[in-house]
Structure 1
């Protein structure tokens, strides 16, 4: 198991082994006067989060703040279960996500529609968060945790219930999935792809959120998947490079196969995304046998679903 990673600025990254895969989803621990955790991943990851806190000699009872960037289950599905270990903590969430953490029935139904028989293995149990322990945070809201101030920004594109959170001490920002997924497995590339999962993907909103983050002039980006980039400019360039290409693959499928079913279009888009991404990586000396493709396989499948969903609504 990976030991917690010291990121400096009194911040530690804990690998949460989402889907039992290392370096897929992480939680960030802010060692401030008021101990703060950003992201929890899904419930099967909570034991890894608790073990990471134990490795840091931290007691969950001392956690004061738990922040989720958005309510997709690979980021917030475990928050209710984790909260059971943190009796003194409050959970912070986007105003559009609050009711779904209090009553996760729609979250569960939506995830079952996407993941089917795999749902229990990936996400169970999803524990409701008591309403009195939920606090909404919206555009420009702040949270002073002692020695650093966190500022919340509404950042749709990946989801309408998405926050990005600026940290004053490190001049970094927790971006969840708003400006992509970072693949540390692709060593040396600082490789980032947009996350276009259903059902609220909006490429125009994603680019506006990217611009908002860019205008903050941050020094580092903390991804939900996975880890940190100290080269924000390169991240912005990659999203601007890949996002129109992802949507373009979908538009070509809709043009060439107008009568295909949703499932058929999704498979065609997935194949198209895989082709352009694989070609790019091979050109950058990442052979098709490389570990990174295990991570890309699931992500591109979900990205394809989101692109087809978006284009179906747009037509």
Structure 2
């Protein structure tokens, strides 16, 4: 990419898209295109066709998606598969028809089987059944990366896909019903501290192992891959480091300075028992994460306090 190439960041208000946009600006890219959902509904096929026909972006970061945590995925599966398929089909097909030079599609590590070998290598995709609680979202994301693969095969496009591990950071969703585990715990612990609550309920046993990547690292990885990777096989993006949900909660307690007790509710679902990405291909490409988990949680908590005007 050249600094004045026309670049469309789809989903620029989201967790990843907002950081991709910010990092592109920091790196000197000047011809950046964005649209809010009100300005361009990516689920509307005709609207997306008209946008691409008029704007003719040269590069596309497809970071737009309908996302949520275990509860939302399990409760609204039809929404998750339909909305994500619509976004992917519309943007990927319009990118091909309008001769976009390169597209980067953001998937999710939930595409891997529930009892996947660890760490999860890219070639483990579709080797056994998915985790049921987020199956609809996973199938939609698998369809997106396969679309990129098949368009490359049939039409000679340069569409690449990346599979991020669990992400967190500024602009995350902190809604207790629909958010992912780290922001949900951060908010719970913060509110417990404010209310002097002696205990906090944490869903599940606390035993599942998860990997977390600070979102600015993710954004920088996406730009690095857009500039340096042109292969059809998708790439995992992560840290290669895992932590139990129990230890994550304890780390958040420390960052927030909360002295109460964590109560684990084993009647609530744990989800996949372990999710660690094999990031050897990404490391071999020359990219490594910069922000460790505790530092990233501190940055996220400071952002949360500023956003709530509590500093």
What's the TM-score, normalizing by structure 2? Answer: 0.30
Query: Which has the larger strand fraction?
Result: 1
**Greater relative contact order, per chain length (Cα 8 Å cut-off, separation 6+):** 2
What's the TM-score, normalizing by structure 1? Answer: 0.30
